[in-house]
Amino acid sequence: MNFKLVVWRQPRESEPGRMVEYDVEEISPDMSFLEMLDVLNEDLTVTGGEPVAFDHDCREGICGMCSLVINGVPHGPERATTACQLHMRHFKDGETITIEPWRARPFPVIRDLVVDRRAFDRIVQAGGYISTNTGSAPDANAIPVPKDNAETAFQAAECIGCGACVAACPNASAMLFVAAKAQHFARLPQGQPERTRRTINLVEAMDREGFGACTNHYECMAACPKEIPTSFISDLNRDFVKAAAHHGRFGTLPPQGDIEE
Amino acid sequence: MLDAKIPGGPLEAKWERHRFDMKLVNPANRRKFRVIVVGSGLAGASASASLAEMGYEVDCFCFQDSPRRAHSIAAQGGINAAKNYQNDGDSVRRLFYDTIKGGDFRAREANVHRLAEVSNNIIDQCAAQGVPFAREYGGQLDNRSFGGAQVSRTFYARGQTGQQLLIGAYGALSRQIHAGKVRMHTRTEMLDVVLIGGQARGIVTRHLVSGRIGRWAADAVVLATGGYGNIFYLSTNAVGCNVTASYRAFKKGAFFANPCYTQIHPTCIPASGEHQSKLTLMSESLRNDGRIWVPNRKDDERAAGDVPEDDRDYYLERKYPSFGNLSPRDISSRAAKEVCDEGRGVGALGRGVYLDFADAIHRLGESTIRARYGNLFSMYEKITGENPYQVPMRIYPASHYTMGGLWVDYNLMSTIPGLHVIGEANFSDHGANRLGASALMQGLGDGYFVLPATLSHYLASTDLPPVSTDHAAFVDAERQVREGVDKLLAINGHRSVESFHRQLGQIMWEHCGMSRREGGLKQAIQEIGALRAEFWSEARVTGTGDEFNVALEKAGRVADFLEFAEVLCFDALAREESCGAHFREEYQTSEGEAKRNDADFTHVTAWEHRGVGTKPLEHREPLVFEDVELATRSYK
| pLDDT tens digits for range B517-528 | 999 999 999 999
Backbone dihedral angles phi then psi of residue B583, each to the nearest 5 degrees: -115, 115
Minimal-distance CA residue of chain B relative to A127: B175
Residues B614 and B500 in one domain: yes
Q: Is B123 on the interface with A (CB under 8 A)?
A: yes
pLDDT of residue B1: 77
Q: Is B374 on the interface with A (CB under 8 A)?
A: no
Is the pLDDT confidence value at A27 over 90?
yes
How many domains is chain B partitioned into structurally? 2
Q: Which of residues 285-314 of B touch A (CB under 8 A)?
A: none
Q: Is the ipTM of this complex over 0.90?
A: yes
Q: Please judge whether A147 and B383 are an interchain contact, meaning their C-beta atoms are less than 8 angstroms apart.
A: no
pLDDT of residue A261: 41
Q: Which of B380, B396, B412 is the last residue of a domain?
A: B396
pLDDT of residue B636: 59
CATH topology of domain A3-111: Ubiquitin-like (UB roll) (3.10.20)
- Please indicate, yes or no, if residue B388 is contained in any of the structural domains: yes
Q: Please judge whether A87 and B239 are an interchain contact, meaning their C-beta atoms are less than 8 angstroms apart.
A: no
Span(s) in chain A for CATH 1.10.1060.10: 118-246
pLDDT of residue B329: 81
Residue B561: give its domain's CATH number.
1.20.58.100
- Please indicate, yes or no, if residue B445 is contained in any of the structural domains: no
Q: Please judge whether A138 and B124 are an interchain contact, meaning their C-beta atoms are less than 8 angstroms apart.
A: yes
Of B69, B132, B498, the CB nearest to A42: B498
**Which of A15-29, A59-73, B139-153 comes out lowest in average pLDDT?**
B139-153
Most B CBs within 10 Å, among A62, A115, A259, to test the B interface = A62
Low-confidence residues of chain B: pLDDT under 50: none
Backbone dihedral angles phi then psi of residue B293, each to the nearest 5 degrees: -155, 165
Q: Please judge whether A60 and B186 are an interchain contact, meaning their C-beta atoms are less than 8 angstroms apart.
A: no
Domain hosting residue B315, numbered range: 267-396
pLDDT of residue A10: 98
Span(s) in chain A for CATH 3.10.20.30: 3-111
Give A-chain residues touching B281 at CB under 8 angstroms: 60
Pick the CATH number of A118-246 from 3.40.50.2000, 1.10.645.10, 1.10.1060.10, 3.90.1150.10: 1.10.1060.10
Residues B278 and B391 in one domain: yes
Q: Which of residues 97-156 of A touch B (CB under 8 A)?
A: 110-111, 114, 116-118, 120-121, 124-126, 128-141, 143-147, 150-151, 153-154
Residue B274: give its domain's CATH number.
3.90.700.10
Chain B closest CA to A239's CA: distance in Å?
Answer: 18
Residues B614 and B486 in one domain: yes
Q: Is B167 on the interface with A (CB under 8 A)?
A: yes
Report helix angle A195-208 to A175-186, nearest 10.
170
Q: Please judge whether A56 and B239 are an interchain contact, meaning their C-beta atoms are less than 8 angstroms apart.
A: yes
Residues B388 and B513 in one domain: no
Give B-chain residues touching A141 at CB under 8 angstroms: 83, 85, 140-141
Most B CBs within 10 Å, among A63, A136, A158, to test the B interface = A63
Q: Which of B374, B396, B418 is the last residue of a domain?
A: B396
Return contacts of B592-599, CB within 8 angstroms, 24+ apart: B593/B634, B593/B636, B594/B104, B594/B330, B594/B633, B596/B104, B596/B105, B596/B632, B598/B105, B598/B630
Q: Please judge whether A130 and B68 are an interchain contact, meaning their C-beta atoms are less than 8 angstroms apart.
A: no
Mean pLDDT of chain A, nearest integer? 94
* Residue B116 CB partners (closer than 8 Å, separation 6+): B82, B92, B93, B95, B96, B99
Residues B601 and B493 in one domain: yes
Q: Please judge whether A117 and B171 are an interchain contact, meaning their C-beta atoms are less than 8 angstroms apart.
A: no
Per the rule left: phi > 0, alpha: psi between -120 and 50, beta: everything else, B497 is alpha
Backbone dihedral angles phi then psi of residue B257, each to the nearest 5 degrees: -105, 135
Contact B499, B535 (CB under 8 A): no
Q: Please judge whether B138 and A31 are an interchain contact, meaning their C-beta atoms are less than 8 angstroms apart.
A: no
Q: Which of B348, B378, B396 is the last residue of a domain?
A: B396
pLDDT of residue A249: 61
**C-alpha pair distances (Å), B536 with each of A158, B59, B114, B159, B549:** 43, 34, 45, 42, 19
Most B CBs within 10 Å, among A15, A28, A58, A115, to test the B interface = A58
Diameter of chain B by CA atoms?
A: 76
- Please indicate, yes or no, if residue B183 is contained in any of the structural domains: no
Specify the pTM: 0.97
- Please indicate, yes or no, if residue B251 is contained in any of the structural domains: no
- Please indicate, yes or no, if residue B506 is contained in any of the structural domains: yes
pLDDT of residue A254: 44
- Please indicate, yes or no, if residue B186 is contained in any of the structural domains: no
- Please indicate, yes or no, if residue B508 is contained in any of the structural domains: yes
Active site residue B329: yes
Mean pLDDT of A70-98: 97
